[in-house]
């Protein structure tokens, strides 16, 4: 199902949303104070305190505020240089998610996105439909709940994105999420992109994930070994070659 889109201005906000999910939007939806008492996601989910679980209209949603990383974050934690509306972080990710949703890939459905511009700087937020009962792969690993079959499903999931030409900018064991039924999803496509399918970037994506797994293993949450990676690649190889 492809997400339709509509863009409206509400006060100081420009909001992009799916009219199939909401008849209208409200600028207050993006105000953290409007959701006083809403549960916050863990620190790895878009920055500590940056992500809230909310109920908006008829839908359970995830609200994420965009923050900068690296050294510049100490100077401008959530301000981005204005390069035009199509290049805002929130609108780019919303539209990328819409294309992946249309392709049937396991991602959250985009609900609404907004930016607030002040001169040469803007701030941004994104709302997606909550995928129920999922946990980061890193959490599942820490619980000791990853057998060879799950590793193969993780590999097959990544391969679907690679075969379709969708590149995740930071493929880690936190952004890969597993449902209670064992389905694998991929979240947080900020700075994600579309590229030539099966390009050299695919190997870079996999190398980033392997570093993530090794780091978690080094922190003592679980033990990463070559057998797990071999199982992941067994799931990856057939799916990416289709």
Residue pLDDT, tens place only, 156-189: 999 999 999 999 999 999 999 999 999 999 999 9
89 with 190: CB under 8 angstroms? yes
Using CA atoms, how far apart are residues 50 and 46, in angstroms rounded to an integer? Answer: 6
Mean pLDDT across the chain: 91
Q: Quick one: pLDDT at residue 73?
A: 46
Residue pLDDT, tens place only, 103-131: 999 999 999 999 999 999 999 999 999 99
H helical segments located in the chain: 89-102, 137-142, 148-164, 201-218, 226-240
Q: Is there a catalytic annotation at residue 36? A: no
Calculate ∠ Cα 75-68-60, nearest 5°: 135
Catalytic residue among 170, 188, 221, 225: 170
- Tokens linked to 82: 């204005």
pLDDT band for position 40 (50/70/90)? confident
Using CA atoms, how far apart are residues 235 and 228, in angstroms rounded to an integer? Answer: 11
In total, the chain counts a number of residues equal to: 242
The domain ranges of the chain are: 6-129, 134-240
Give the CATH superfamily of 134-240: Transferase(Phosphotransferase) domain 1 (1.10.510.10)
Contacts of 110 (CB under 8 A, 6+ apart): 3, 18, 93, 94, 95, 97, 98, 101, 126, 127, 128, 129
Q: Residue 182: name the closest of 216, 135, 232 by CA.
A: 135
Q: Residue 156: name the closest of 227, 234, 236 by CA.
A: 236
């Amino acid at each position: 199902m492809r997400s339709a889109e509509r863009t409206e201005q509400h006060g100081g906000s420009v909001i992009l949303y799916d009219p199939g999910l909401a008849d209208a939007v409200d600028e207050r939806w993006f105000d953290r104070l409007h959701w006083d008492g809403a549960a916050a996601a863990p620190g790895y989910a878009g920055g500590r305190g940056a992500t809230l679980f909310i109920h908006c209209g008829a839908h359970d949603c995830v609200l994420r505020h965009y923050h900068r990383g690296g050294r510049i974050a100490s100077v401008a934690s959530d301000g981005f240089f204005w390069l035009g509306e199509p290049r805002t972080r929130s609108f780019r990710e919303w539209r990328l998610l819409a294309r992946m949703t249309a392709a049937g890939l396991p991602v959250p459905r985009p609900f609404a996105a907004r930016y607030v511009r002040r001169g040469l700087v803007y701030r941004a937020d994104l709302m997606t439909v909550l995928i129920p009962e999922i946990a980061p792969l890193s959490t599942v690993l820490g619980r000791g709940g990853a057998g060879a079959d799950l590793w193969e499903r993780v590999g097959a999931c990544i391969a679907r994105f690679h075969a379709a030409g969708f590149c995740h900018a930071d493929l880690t064991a936190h952004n890969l999420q597993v449902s209670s039924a064992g389905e694998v999803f991929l979240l947080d496509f900020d700075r994600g992109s579309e590229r030539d399918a099966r390009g050299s970037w695919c190997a870079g994506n996999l190398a980033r994930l392997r570093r993530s797994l090794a780091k978690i293993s080094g922190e003592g949450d679980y033990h990463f070994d070559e057998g797990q990676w071999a199982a992941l690649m067994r799931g990856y190889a057939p799916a990416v070659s289709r």
